Amino acid sequence: MPVYIVQCPDCEHEFRSLILAGTLPPEAWFCSKCGGERAVPKPGAALEKHPWERERSAKDGHGYSCLCCAG
């Protein structure tokens, strides 16, 4: 599940947006701060993996990085 870094050109707010596996990105991105409809994935920003999909580290008890285990 890729996590996009999205930027709004109207208010310059940056936020993350998760795209569920097997689905298409939205036709329009809406800014979570100003509600503008012109937000786009930040050019040149690398897609991030969802925390649950990251490789297991020694401190992860579940076998996946998860929000309850992340330090």
* pLDDT, tens digit, 9 for 90 and up, residues 12-48: 999 988 888 788 888 899 998 999 999 999 887 767 7
Instruction: Note down the domain range covering 71.
Output: 1-71
Check residue 22 and give its pLDDT.
83
Q: How many domains does the chain have?
A: 1
Check residue 46 and give its pLDDT.
67
Tokens of 53: 């999909």
Q: What is this structure's pTM?
A: 0.61
Tokens of 71: 């330090």
Please return the burial class of 67, using the count of CB atoms within 10 Å of its CB with bins 0-12, 13-18 and 19+.
Answer: exposed
Confidence of residue 70 (pLDDT cuts 50, 70, 90): very low
> Mapping DSSP to helix (H, G, I), strand (E, B) and coil, where does residue 18 land?
strand
Residue 70's Cα: distance from chain center in Å? 17
Phi then psi for residue 41, to 5 deg, are -55, 135
